Structure 1
């Protein structure tokens, strides 16, 4: 009999205990020190009898019992078994992205028997939370320097007259921009459509839900907007935070060169040459307050996709070029924006500018 440690799991330490995390089957349980040490002998398929042969009868019997328990628990898999076949197929599909990607996917994948709450049950849970912990605010100001008020949003902007299908068919990713500055009113309208509350439903719900132009899981809208102005009329160059409730830009005191912008965007020069770069982050607690399962992190990623598409369509309707990228050096962006990576994560950037002639 040959066995090896299953590769669809991970070990972590919690409260002095070694925990086996089988993310494929959503099982977690403590394992003993003896079991942990035995696992190190089975990093690849190993003959059990050959491993136990040098030991005396008592030790062989004791370790055989532990090994049988590990096989039964799925910590060890036997060569040629159904579990071996299933793992081989899983690794063939996911090995190219590494262990962390498959861990995230399968740990947040719902199984057939996963329980879901009814609307009434979920509302009852939220009511209980409200009694103990208020929801995080859906909008925020970062303070600091004097905010730059943006021009008021027009009721009927001229770019809004273009038909939806026309804009959808015209939408392209632009990686080259024409010379010239962007007008501040258009920048304000773009940010307002993306991040301000919808005028018709501007009330913030009792659980912190808010209506915007893009969908968000549970109405949580965890995504924060930051803008780096390189060439925007009437706006000093540098990084700003967009305060969606005040419709204003708050200066962060950091100005990047085109080279620095490109470096943060995975050395993509076209990002550094854009007159405006919009960075997207997510305040995780907004979503986590309502949804305390790991799958909600998938929803956060979807939220920035919805928002990026809205940015594409609005910029296209305005006659601008725009391109989104998630190929970032997150740490550089975090440092410029003052993000705590444990609570506010960097998601992507949109570069915006005039279309090339």
Structure 2
């Protein structure tokens, strides 16, 4: 079992080792930006105010019980209100601390929130197909660019899905979360990376449950072409890179 040793050790707590490390925060180095900047001249789309009116299944027990990874979608589009709700549920800011940390709808180690949310939009009412990024502070979308042959690009990104091939391009939207590790490394040094993986699990589960609550289905995607999606989104692959993805669409009857 020696081939697994390094990765198994990564899963364990390294608190005793960590507490002897002087982190960049303790060194007095400046905290990295809590969110990624954007060009103010870009096309900015206002998202609707969050409303419980989009929720068709309010019973949390039923949402947990009925949740499944959904790979078959109808042709029905998501509404902009529904997309707004899903974005708020996965990265929405509920308050800010005096020192500038954001408190969000998902738990996160030390409120470091290393994630940015990119969206491959296929079928959302009122939005043209293309690539967008969520702006959590403003609760808005920034339109990044159109993506020629977006369905073929999604096929290429998501590689050979083992259960239902090529299902992702049939969803209404593909969420792609990037991580900027230094937001957590600044505070947690070598402990940051395990925390980042735990935190993205919270994000994904919120998407599953809120999708279920609006009659949609989600399916997390762990098999993807890392370099291709980073290149498409113009990420450097080191300081920021995609860490997890999920497809979302209305369920097929």
Q: Is the pair's TM-score, using the shorter chain for normalization, greater than 0.5?
A: yes
For 1:127 and 1:275, how far apart are their aligned partners in 2? 41
Answering whether residue 218 of structure 2 is matched by residue 306 of structure 1, we say: no
Deviation at 1:353, TM superposition (A): 0.7
Answering whether residue 9 of structure 2 is matched by residue 90 of structure 1, we say: no
* Greater RCO (CA < 8 Å, at least 6 residues apart): 2
Deviation at 1:116, TM superposition (A): 5.8
Q: Give per-residue Cα distances to partners, 1:259-280, cap 9 Å, x unaligned.
A: 2102101234101111111101
Q: Give per-residue Cα distances to partners, 1:198-224, cap 9 Å, x unaligned.
A: 1xxx11452x53211111111111111
For 1:305 and 1:347, how far apart are their aligned partners in 2? 11
User: Which runs of no fewer than 5 residues in structure 1 stay unpaired?
Assistant: 1-88, 95-101
For 2:25 and 2:233, how far apart are their aligned partners in 1? 34
Partner of 1:142: 38
Contact 2:181 / 2:192 at 8 angstroms: preserved in 1? no
Report the CA distance shift for 1:116/1:333 in structure 2 as closer, same or farther (over 3 A): closer
Partner of 1:59: none
Q: Give 2:76's match in structure 1, choosing from 156, 180, 184.
A: 180
Partner of 1:289: 186
CA-atom RMSD, angstroms? 2.5
Answering whether residue 217 of structure 2 is matched by residue 321 of structure 1, we say: yes
Q: Give per-residue Cα distances to partners, 1:315-335, cap 9 Å, x unaligned.
A: 001110111111010111111
Partner of 1:218: 110
For 2:12 and 2:215, how far apart are their aligned partners in 1? 40
Q: Give 1:114's match in structure 2, choosing from 3, 12, 16.
A: 16
Contact 1:254 / 1:336 at 8 angstroms: preserved in 2? no
TM norm structure 1: 0.64
Deviation at 1:302, TM superposition (A): 1.2
TM norm structure 2: 0.88
Higher helix share: 1
Give the number of the structure whose alpha-carbon radius of gyration is greater: 1
For 1:334 and 1:322, how far apart are their aligned partners in 2? 22
Number of aligned residue pairs: give it. Answer: 247
Partner of 1:264: 157
Answering whether residue 65 of structure 2 is matched by residue 153 of structure 1, we say: no
Q: Give 1:247's match in structure 2, choosing from 139, 150, 160.
A: 139
Answering whether residue 165 of structure 2 is matched by residue 165 of structure 1, we say: no
Partner of 1:6: none
Q: Give per-residue Cα distances to partners, 1:158-190, cap 9 Å, x unaligned.
A: 518612111100101000101121111110111
Deviation at 1:90, TM superposition (A): 2.5
Consecutive aligned runs of 4 or more in structure 1 exceeding 4 Å deviation: 107-111, 124-129
Q: Give per-residue Cα distances to partners, 1:91-134, cap 9 Å, x unaligned.
A: 4xx3xxxxxxx4354367456x92564xxx99x978744xx322
Matches within 5 A, 1:29-44: none
Report the CA distance shift for 1:290/1:232 in structure 2 as closer, same or farther (over 3 A): same
Contact 1:142 / 1:241 at 8 angstroms: preserved in 2? no
User: Which runs of no fewer than 5 residues in structure 2 stay unpaired?
Assistant: none
